[in-house]
Amino acid sequence: MHHERKQRKFSWQDLGKVDVGRPNLGPMVPVLVYRLMQYTLWDVLSTELGAEQANRIVVRAGKRAGEEFCRNMLDTSLPIHAFISQLQQVLKEQAIGILRIEQADLEALHFTLTVAEDLDCSGLPCTDEVVCQYDEGFISGIFEVYTGKPFHVKEVDCWASGERVCRFSARVQEDEQHDR
């Protein structure tokens, strides 16, 4: 007897044993398939809940993913320079994007960073929009787990807005509003 999926909190183990389940196809899928899932999910959310609420949900999902990614894929005991270097390496190995730090104020914990060949948007048509809300959440989740402080991340440039990299401002959040 099969049951519908019940609400439950995400756990890294929910990702399963990909090497066992996909011995022939392996762990990687084309970006097209990833975007098909992401953009159709956003379409349904925005149709049913409105664009603003859909964006909030997508940011929150990205944040949760970033938190779990950081806890399970990165060494949070490393000093910041080594942590960033490891983050760059893992993002590239996982084909998520090529991370560069343009500016870093380590005392204030304020960063300007870019992601080239971004999984979410590189190659999209120009719509004069920034579309990487999931990445905003993903980056904030990583920085929050690493620093133990709430982060606000905002995309300021995007492939879809006419740039050739996605640029994000990431800083410790001043107020208590943790989600947009």
Is the pLDDT confidence value at 154 over 80? yes
Note the pLDDT of residue 175: 61
Please check whether residue 53 lies inside any domain of the structure: yes
Q: Looking at the predicted structure, is the pLDDT value of residue 83 above 80?
A: yes
Residue 97 in domain: yes
Q: Do 120 and 42 meet the contact criterion of CB atoms below 8 Å apart?
A: no
Distance separating alpha carbons of residues 180 and 176, to the nearest angstrom: 11
1, part of any domain: no
pLDDT on residue 180: 41
Tell whether 63 is covered by a domain: yes
Q: Is the dihedral of CA 170, 174, 177, 180 positive or negative?
A: negative
Question: Which residue bears the tokens 């807005």?
Answer: 161
**How much is the pLDDT for 122?**
95
Number of domains making up the chain = 1
Domain, as residue range, for 35 = 12-172
Structural domain includes residue 40: yes
Both tokens of 170, joined, read 């990431």
The answer to whether position 55 is within a domain reads: yes
User: Phi/psi at 152 (nearest 5 deg)?
Assistant: -110, 125
Q: Is the pTM of this model over 0.75?
A: yes
Run of H or E residues at 154: strand 151-157
What pLDDT score does 176 carry? 52
Distance of alpha carbon 88 from alpha carbon 158, whole angstroms: 19
Mean predicted confidence (pLDDT) in 52-76 = 97
Local structure of residue 4 (DSSP, 8 states): P
Choose among 31, 165, 166: nearest CA to 94: 31
Distances (CA, A) of 128 to 9, 55, 160, 161: 35, 17, 6, 4
Which pLDDT score, from 0 to 100, does residue 174 have?
75
Q: Report the CATH number that the domain containing residue 19 is assigned in CATH.
A: 3.30.1380.20
